[in-house]
């Protein structure tokens, strides 16, 4: 029987996905990747889901690639094709996270190492427990940051801190991660899931399409010059301005009532 390596629970408009291989700190196997991608696709396709939380079971968030996964062994003991593993699993995962039609919050409950750290940092907002930490573990096993790390880290931290963390592979405690601007919020361990749920519930009531487009616009503008970004803003505002949520937002403001957003 297939194990539930990713648990899915929906409360109102918020879906929570929990990585569920606690004995190995929720490290990624091919099977867990497949279940995670399926769960993300299902959340993206379900119009009733308006915000997503990802977290980990047990004491860890995710320790990156499972270094014992049979997928990494070759019959003749030759070196594995790590690039193929990245292309098969991590690239689709990172792209899926970046194209979710709803905001995604990482609730980092414990250590997030290697691709597990960058999976968390690729979410829209990261809330971490005080006891959690982030480790760019790659350099310790002769690899470079992956799962979007080379792109995310310098943008979030600046080159000096990104290189320092990636080269040393040092553990960055959650409190320090918040201070450096790597994550949104660090909270007491016991408050983690409630804090993530409060934030997710708030975002779920907001205009999903505008939030997803905000992510896409910020990422796109990072690759443009100033004029290009201004042109992008005008083009996308034109499109959003024709949609239901803008009309609803303005009407609700003028009528002094709460808006009901439905676009996705
Ligand atoms: O295939 C490729 O390599 C390509 C893809 C690369 C992407 C990557 O993510 S590369 C980076 C891979 N991850 C790591 O190198 C992290 C390895 N883990 C650690 O360094 C430590 O476990 C942590 C610092 C994350 C946590 O340390 P600690 O002391 O809190 O826990 P622990 O005792 O080391 O781990 C608890 C158990 O989880 C332990 O199993 P055991 O002895 O109780 O049976 C440990 O072996 C297991 N575990 C932790 N990380 C992994 C793992 N098992 C398999 N793969 C892991 N990555």
64: CA distance to ligand 1 center in Å?
A: 7
Domain that holds residue 235: 208-255
Q: What are phi and psi of 134, to 5 degrees?
A: -125, 130
Q: Which residue out of 63, 74, 168 has the highest number of ligand 1 atoms within 8 Å of its CB and is therefore the one to mutate?
A: 63
62: CA distance to ligand 1 center in Å?
A: 9
pLDDT for position 71: 82
Asked if residue 248 and residue 128 are part of one domain, the reply reads no
Report residues whose beta carbon is within 6 angstroms of any ligand 1 atom.
24-25, 27, 63-68, 72, 82, 85, 111, 113-115, 135, 137-138, 141, 143, 146
pLDDT for position 77: 82
- Cβ distance 172 to 165 under 8 Å? yes
Asked if residue 167 and residue 136 are part of one domain, the reply reads yes
pLDDT for position 1: 66
Q: How many domains does the chain have?
A: 2
Q: Is 263 part of a structural domain of the chain?
A: no
Q: Where are the alpha helices (DSSP H) in the chain?
A: 30-45, 82-85, 91-98, 115-121, 149-157, 159-168, 174-179, 192-204, 208-221, 226-241, 244-254
Boundary of a domain, candidates 168, 184, 204: 204
pLDDT in tens, the chain (264 residues): 679 999 999 999 999 999 999 999 999 999 999 999 999 999 999 999 999 999 999 999 999 999 999 888 887 888 889 999 999 999 999 999 999 999 999 999 999 999 999 999 999 999 999 999 999 999 999 999 999 999 999 999 999 999 999 999 999 999 999 999 999 999 999 999 999 999 999 999 999 999 999 999 999 999 999 999 999 999 999 999 999 999 999 999 999 999 999 999
Asked if residue 89 and residue 185 are part of one domain, the reply reads yes
Q: Is 169 part of a structural domain of the chain?
A: yes
- Cβ distance 215 to 124 under 8 Å? yes
Taking the mean position of all CA atoms in its chain, how far away is CA 90? 12
Counting from 1 in the atom list of ligand 1, the atom nearest the Cα of 143 is 10
Q: Which CATH number fits the domain that encloses residue 235?
A: 1.10.12
Tokens of 166: 């990636």
**DSSP codes of every residue in 100-132:** -SS-EEEEE-SEEETHHHHHHHTSSEEEEETT-
Counting from 1 in the atom list of ligand 1, the atom nearest the Cα of 24 is 38
133: CA distance to ligand 1 center in Å?
A: 14
Q: Which CATH number fits the domain that encloses residue 46?
A: 3.90.226.10
Q: Is 47 part of a structural domain of the chain?
A: yes
| pTM exceeds 0.85 for this model | yes
State the DSSP code for 34: H
144: CA distance to ligand 1 center in Å?
A: 16
């Amino acid at each position: 029987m297939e194990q539930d390596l990713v648990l899915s629970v929906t409360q109102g408009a918020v879906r929570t996905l929990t990585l569920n291989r606690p004995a190995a700190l929720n490290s990624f196997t091919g099977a867990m990747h497949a279940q995670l991608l399926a769960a993300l696709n299902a959340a993206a396709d379900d119009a009733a889901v308006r915000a997503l939380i990802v977290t980990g079971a047990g004491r860890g968030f995710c320790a990156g690639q499972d270094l014992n996964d049979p997928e990494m062994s070759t019959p003749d003991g030759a070196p594995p094709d790590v690039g193929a593993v990245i292309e098969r699993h991590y690239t689709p995962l990172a792209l899926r996270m970046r194209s979710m039609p709803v905001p995604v919050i990482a609730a980092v409950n414990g250590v997030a190492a290697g691709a597990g750290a960058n999976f968390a940092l690729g979410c829209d907002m990261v809330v971490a427990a005080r006891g959690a930490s982030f480790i760019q573990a790659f350099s310790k096993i002769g690899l470079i940051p992956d799962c979007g790390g080379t792109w995310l880290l310098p943008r979030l931290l600046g080159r000096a801190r990104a290189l320092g963390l990636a080269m040393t592979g040092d553990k960055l405690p959650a409190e320090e991660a918040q201070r450096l601007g790597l994550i949104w919020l660090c909270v007491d361990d016991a408050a983690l899931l409630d804090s993530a749920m409060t934030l997710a519930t708030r975002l779920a009531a907001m205009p999903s399409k505008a939030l997803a487009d905000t992510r896409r616009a910020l990422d796109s503008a990072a690759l443009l010059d100033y004029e290009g970004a201004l042109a992008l803003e005008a083009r996308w505002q034109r499109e959003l301005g024709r949609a239901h949520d803008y009309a609803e937002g303005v009407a609700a403001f003028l009528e002094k009532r709460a808006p009901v957003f439905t676009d996705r």
